[in-house]
Amino acid sequence: MYKLSIALCSWKSPELLKNCINSIEKSALVDYQILVALNEGDKESSELLIDKNIDFIRLDKNYGTLSVDFLSPLIRSEYWININDDMLFHAGWDKDLISIIESNGNCSASCHLVEPIGTNNPVVDIDNLGPISENTYHKFIENARSGKYIRPNNIISYTHPIMIKTSDYFKIGGYSDNFDMNWFPGYGLDDFFAYRLYKLYDWNFKCITSKNSWVYHGISQTNKKLDPAIKSKNNLDYFYYKTNMSIHQFRNKINIFSNT
């Protein structure tokens, strides 16, 4: 039994995958397993994971971020987190997020993001360190060690990556709501994931983004390869269909971006 399962999705991006996994191996402090879903599984990514003795599945098509749920039978842990291959991690992020959940009870825990360009997201720090590479990782770690990204307070937010108890993951039907492909490639799904967690606990739940943990995020470098018609899909109407409220109304209800 591991403390943490790290569910990682990748889509024909072996260099991103390599840098992401290397950063996890250098930074994670708890007993963990990495599980990888390879969308349209490519030979180079498969060989990388075989060499590292990492459990993975090869999928015949691109399921987007929903693909992490194909890894469910492999989960052997107390906590679960979903990440993308365009993310880099600093030392101790995993232990910090687990401590947030252990201290707050019914909640999720997220790292806030460091991204190269502004997206008007209050939980994002802008720091252009370049495209994901080994050099980018070293610059990010240097800045992290210097305390550049520390914030004064934890805030209410469910920024991807999101950590929860594994038991909660299974209770709500996983990340994709029992493989509901209407969410493909994943736009709006973080919101619906959070919504289902709040409903599970009759709204006695908090989504918390840590003031002390962050990831460098290449801003969906994989999704840049998607067809423009898919990238324009936002799932706002589908969220309303599933919840009878808009994403904006849900965010207001939970006081998103307020201090915890």
Q: Does residue 251 have a pLDDT over 90?
A: yes
pTM for the complete prediction? 0.95
pLDDT at position 228 is 59
pLDDT at position 106 is 97
| DSSP structure class, residue 244 | S
pLDDT at position 223 is 58
From residue 168, how far is each of 80, 93, 108, 188, 197 by CA, in Å? 9, 21, 10, 19, 8
Average pLDDT over residues 5-33: 97
Q: Does residue 219 have a pLDDT over 90?
A: no
Token digits of residue 112? 């806030």
Topology (CATH level 3) of domain 2-253: Spore Coat Polysaccharide Biosynthesis Protein SpsA; Chain A (3.90.550)
pLDDT at position 185 is 82
pLDDT at position 120 is 85
Average pLDDT over residues 225-238: 68
Q: What would the pLDDT profile of 132-150 be if each residue is shown by its tens digit?
A: 999 999 999 999 999 999 9
What's the whole-number average pLDDT of the chain? 94
Domain ranges, ordered by start, for the chain: 2-253
Local confidence band at 233 (pLDDT 50, 70, 90 cut-offs): low
Output the DSSP codes for 64-128.
Answer: GGGGGGGGGGG--EEEEEEEETTEEE-TTHHHHHHHHHHHHSSEEEEEEEEESS--S-TTEEE--
Positions of E strands within the chain: 2-11, 32-39, 55-58, 77-84, 87-89, 107-115, 124-126, 155-156, 162-165, 206-217
Angle between helices 134-145 and 14-27 (to 10 degrees): 30
The answer to whether 89 and 27 are in contact (CB under 8 A) is yes
The answer to whether 16 and 86 are in contact (CB under 8 A) is yes
The more confidently predicted of residues 74 and 185 is: 74
| DSSP structure class, residue 159 | P
